[in-house]
Amino acid sequence: MRIVVTATLTAAFTAGCDAKLNDTAALDELSAESDANAGADADPEADDGPPPVAGSVDEACGTNEYGYGSPSMDAMMALERTHCYRRIMGIELGELDADLDRASQSHSDYMHRHDTLTHWQDDTLGGFTGEWVWDRMESAGFDVEAGQSWAEVVSWGTSPTEAVDMWVGSVYHRIPLTAPYWIALGYGQTGDYSSMSFVSPYPDGPRTAVVFPVHGQTQVPARFDSDTEWPDPAPNHGVVGYPISVTVAAENTGSDYANPYDTAMTSASLTDAAGTELAIIELDPTTDSDMSNMVAIVPVEPFENGETYTATMSVRWDGSEETFTTTFTVE
């Protein structure tokens, strides 16, 4: 199994990732499109989401609503696994949209047809349905409009469940899956290639912070191979510990679409059960534009199985600061 991805795409406020094998020169076109898509503010109603579920991600699973009557089995599996994570985080669940499923499936078909992992499609090649994810959404019939942000994650060599696990287990690809508010989702799988697309309100909604792993969580993975994500969130380190993150939302944005809520991590620490402080890599939007609305710490060394760890992160966004502490046990 392997996920290979590259730089974050931005349009309005979009957390997505481009493929390592893609023509990266095309990324230069994105900055011109971003402001054109950021229009009137969304005004979503607050949704407290399901109550957090203590224990493991597997114990939090449970989905029987999919959004429409005939999604593919792959799309249902991806949504089910996504909801395992969102239920343990206590945030609102999502629904599949037929148009977004069609857009995601067409992109998986394109990647499989040309044997390339990418977010960008070449209009001279067969199977072209839109240059970027928002183009493919629109061509599939979805109403792309102001007050939205659009995101896409892709992977190769995974089943739908494995793909979601890998995206959440990374850094940059975790962002859209931990966004507290969603409008709709889509998923497609063709052979080894998978694609998941997200539409979220922009701005995201009432001031919220989503911490993951959550306090009291068990069976947290011990490691993450940072070399399988690009940009590499832990350069020159390879296999590191499982990332710990805080994803934020707010009702107002600033002028910087790469850091719309003026988000920064003001301090962070990670300790083991004995109170020994561990070496970490700190990531936030002030130094990494791909972080957008998330801060994270990445342990330099993998965790030890059976051990308990405590992470503390002080985060400033939307004009004020909060401190979050989460204690979790590694599988």
What does the pLDDT read at residue 53?
A: 56
What percent of the chain clears pLDDT 70, i.e. is strictly above it?
84
What average pLDDT is seen over the chain?
87
Higher per-residue confidence, 49 vs 147: 147
What does the pLDDT read at residue 296?
A: 98
Average pLDDT, integer, range 69-75? 97
Rounded to whole angstroms, the Cα distance separating 226 from 82 reads 21
**CATH no., domain 208-329:** 2.60.40.3780
Q: Which two tokens stand for residue 224?
A: 């993450």
What does the pLDDT read at residue 38?
A: 29
Q: Using pLDDT thresholds of 50, 70 and 90, give the confidence band for residue 41.
A: very low
**pLDDT tens-digit readout, 95-124:** 999 999 999 999 999 999 999 999 999 999
Direct distance between the N- and C-terminal alpha carbons of the chain, in angstroms, rounded to an integer: 20
In the chain, CATH 3.40.33.10 sits at 24-201
Q: Which two tokens stand for residue 197?
A: 């697309």
Lowest model confidence (mean pLDDT) among 34-43, 110-119, 253-262: 34-43
pLDDT exceeds 70 at position 93: yes
- Count of CB atoms situated within 10 Å of the CB of 249: 24
Q: Using pLDDT thresholds of 50, 70 and 90, give the confidence band for residue 230.
A: confident
Residues near 145 by Cβ (< 8 Å), separated by ≥ 6?
39
- Count of CB atoms situated within 10 Å of the CB of 175: 26
> From 3.30.300.130, 3.40.33.10, 3.90.400.10, 3.30.590.10, which CATH number describes the 24-201 domain?
3.40.33.10
pLDDT exceeds 70 at position 221: yes
Residues near 249 by Cβ (< 8 Å), separated by ≥ 6?
179, 180, 181, 203, 204, 205, 206, 207, 208, 209, 261, 293
Q: Among 214, 291, 270, which Cα is nearest to 53's?
A: 214
DSSP-derived secondary structure for 226-253: GGGSSS-SSTTT-EEEPPEEEEEE-S--
Q: Among 183, 134, 187, which Cα is nearest to 164's?
A: 187
pLDDT exceeds 60 at position 289: yes
Is there a contact between 81 and 242 (Cβ–Cβ < 8 Å)?
no
In the chain, CATH 2.60.40.3780 sits at 208-329
Q: Which two tokens stand for residue 127?
A: 């199977």
Rounded to whole angstroms, the Cα distance separating 318 from 261 reads 5
